[in-house]
């Protein structure tokens, strides 16, 4: 305390002790694949902030299109602003590429453009699930006139396996284990070649989807379903779907692109690969929880090595509660009151003597996320006017 010796009015600035928790970014994507120049920095993760940036680093001057170059063109065209890229080289070193990207903590979504097989999908989903901070955007095949085969692709990507498939450890896991850390997108898009605007090409959609995710996050927030959005640069589809066909694909977790008269090509799905009955079946719910968990984790680093007592618990409840209150006010959580939208519990009940003795502080957080309105129903009836 300062010492006051002379009569007068004194002003002291006193810290409230609050430590605001900031939202982590959700708009940075990562892409793995063969670069236009196969020898350009293979296996290294490099950040790019524009199409020109990408072509400068990865040899786009050669004018050779690859699924990776199409993805980056679609990403920036649809609103993306920053991405990390790994050139896997001709050998397709996806595991090495994922290892290089593991050290970059700003990435929130990841894709391997053009890779449609379950083995690569499994690598991406495993990567996202283990880190808990990323969402995998997976490409479906260009065409699937037998929809049962496409549903099979989604099922394998989600982790279902027949008897004898996988080894029970490093192979396919149970579908429930994925908890929705990825979504599958179908069909492919017809666009102009970024190296030759007179040429139309059919490309996998993951880059365009990642750009739409970023744009939706910036405009509305990560809690808004990145769907019902027109795909910029898309001129056609590799396969058109009917309402009945999408009705089969949607419950299986396949997010479809549709062509609607007067609107163009629209992303018309927001499902993850989690089971239809799972609480993680919606893309915005999974991504909201990823953002909240990582924001709280980073925002409470100051807690480590503090005395584990009631004063610490009160500070944690205050800081986490203030963060969730902002989310509720922004519309990310449902409920007429904060009490209906979330709770934060950190007290003697969650922090027993055994927990304290083990050096742990336990915080329980509950959220009521806003879920997308997939089905809008109008009940219309007609009546005859009664005669007088």
The DSSP result for 154-169, as a single string, is HHHHHT---TT-S-SS
Q: Tokens 């080894």 identify what position?
A: 167
Sheet harboring 29-33: ordered strands across? 45-48, 83-87, 29-33, 109-111, 135-139, 182-186, 254-260, 264-267, 229-230
Within the chain, where are the H helices? 51-58, 67-77, 94-102, 118-131, 147-158, 175-178, 206-219, 243-249, 283-299, 310-330, 338-341, 353-357
118-131 and 94-102 helices cross at what angle (nearest 10)? 20
Neighbours of 259 (CB within 10 A): 15
Residue 16, in any domain of the structure: no
Query: Do residues 114 and 167 share a domain?
Result: yes
Locate 347 and state its tokens. Answer: 């007290």
Where does residue 24 rank: exposed (0-12), middle (13-18), buried (19+ CB within 10 A)? buried
Domain containing 251 equals: 29-278
Mean pLDDT by 10 residues, the chain (388 residues): 65 65 94 94 96 90 84 97 95 92 96 94 94 95 86 76 42 50 96 93 98 96 94 96 93 94 95 90 95 94 92 94 95 94 94 93 93 73 60
Strand partners, 184: 138, 254
Q: Tokens 């997108």 identify what position?
A: 185
pLDDT number for residue 385: 58
Query: Do residues 126 and 204 share a domain?
Result: yes
pLDDT number for residue 373: 78
Residue 384, in any domain of the structure: no
The DSSP result for 130-152, as a single string, is HHSS-EEEEE--S--SSHHHHHH
Looking at the structure of the chain, the number of domains it has is 2
Neighbours of 299 (CB within 10 A): 18
147-158 and 118-131 helices cross at what angle (nearest 10)? 40
Task: Supply the CATH number for residue 62's domain.
Answer: 3.40.50.11780
Confirm if 245 and 254 have CB atoms less than 8 A apart: no
Locate 170 and state its tokens. Answer: 């490093």
Query: Do residues 180 and 315 share a domain?
Result: no
Query: Do residues 268 and 337 share a domain?
Result: no
Residue 271, in any domain of the structure: yes
Query: Do residues 228 and 308 share a domain?
Result: no
- C-alpha triplet 265, 269, 274: angle, nearest 5°: 150
For residue 29, give the H/E element and its range.
Answer: strand 29-33
pTM higher than 0.85: yes
323: CB partners within 8 A, 6+ apart? 20, 21, 295, 296, 299
Query: Do residues 75 and 190 share a domain?
Result: yes
Is residue 341 helix, strand or coil? helix
- Radius of gyration in angstroms for the set of CA atoms belonging to the chain, rounded to a whole number: 24
Q: Which of 115, 36, 24, 96 is nearest to 72 (CA)?
A: 36
Q: Give the span between the Cα atoms of 237 and 235, in whole angstroms.
A: 7
Query: Do residues 162 and 260 share a domain?
Result: yes
Residue 328, in any domain of the structure: yes
Residue 268, in any domain of the structure: yes
Query: Do residues 349 and 254 share a domain?
Result: no
304: CB partners within 8 A, 6+ apart? none
Query: Do residues 50 and 165 share a domain?
Result: yes
Report CA-CA distances (Å) from 34 to 100, 206, 308: 15, 15, 50
Residue 287, in any domain of the structure: no
Query: Do residues 239 and 306 share a domain?
Result: no
Q: Give the span between the Cα atoms of 7 and 1, in whole angstroms.
A: 16
Residue 324, in any domain of the structure: yes
Query: Do residues 243 and 347 share a domain?
Result: no
The DSSP result for 103-123, as a single string, is T-TT--EEE-TT--SHHHHHH
Residue 290, in any domain of the structure: no
Query: Do residues 224 and 77 share a domain?
Result: yes
């Amino acid at each position: 305390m300062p010492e006051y010796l002379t009569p007068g009015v004194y002003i002291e600035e006193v810290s409230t002790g609050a430590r605001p928790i900031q939202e982590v970014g959700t708009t940075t994507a990562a892409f793995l694949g063969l670069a236009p120049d196969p020898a350009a920095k293979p296996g290294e993760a490099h950040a790019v902030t524009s199409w020109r940036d990408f072509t400068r680093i990865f040899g786009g001057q050669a004018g050779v299109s690859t699924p990776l170059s199409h993805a980056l063109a679609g990403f920036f065209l649809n609103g993306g602003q920053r991405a990390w890229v790994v050139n896997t080289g001709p050998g397709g070193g996806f595991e090495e590429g994922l290892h290089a990207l593991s050290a970059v903590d700003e990435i929130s979504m990841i894709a391997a453009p053009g890779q449609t097989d379950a083995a690569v999908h499994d690598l991406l989903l495993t990567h996202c699930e283990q880190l808990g901070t990323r969402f995998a955007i997976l490409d479906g095949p260009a065409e699937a006139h037998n929809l049962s085969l496409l549903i099979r692709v989604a099922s394998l990507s989600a982790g279902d396996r027949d008897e004898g498939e996988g080894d029970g450890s490093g192979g396919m896991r149970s579908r429930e284990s994925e908890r929705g850390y990825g979504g599958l997108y179908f069909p492919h898009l017809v666009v102009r070649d970024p190296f030759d605007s007179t040429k139309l090409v059919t490309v996998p959609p993951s880059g365009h989807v990642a750009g739409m995710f970023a744009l939706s996050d910036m405009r509305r927030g990560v809690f808004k379903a990145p769907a019902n959005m027109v795909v910029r640069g898309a001129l056609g589809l590799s396969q058109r779907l009917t309402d009945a066909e999408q009705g089969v694909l949607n419950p299986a977790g396949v997010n479809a692109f549709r062509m609607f008269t007067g609107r163009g090509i629209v992303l018309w799905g927001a499902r993850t690969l989690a089971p239809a009955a799972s609480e993680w079946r919606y893309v915005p719910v999974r991504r909201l929880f990823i953002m909240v968990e990582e924001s709280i984790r980073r925002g409470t680093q100051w807690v480590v090595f503090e005395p584990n007592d009631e004063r610490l618990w009160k500070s944690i409840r205050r800081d986490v509660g203030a963060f969730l209150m902002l989310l509720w006010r922004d519309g990310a959580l449902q409920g007429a009151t904060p009490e209906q939208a979330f709770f934060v519990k950190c007290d003697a009940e969650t922090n027993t003597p055994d927990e304290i003795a083990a050096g742990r502080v336990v915080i329980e957080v509950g959220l009521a996320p806003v879920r997308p309105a997939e089905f809008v129903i109008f009940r219309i009836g007609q009546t005859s006017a009664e005669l007088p």
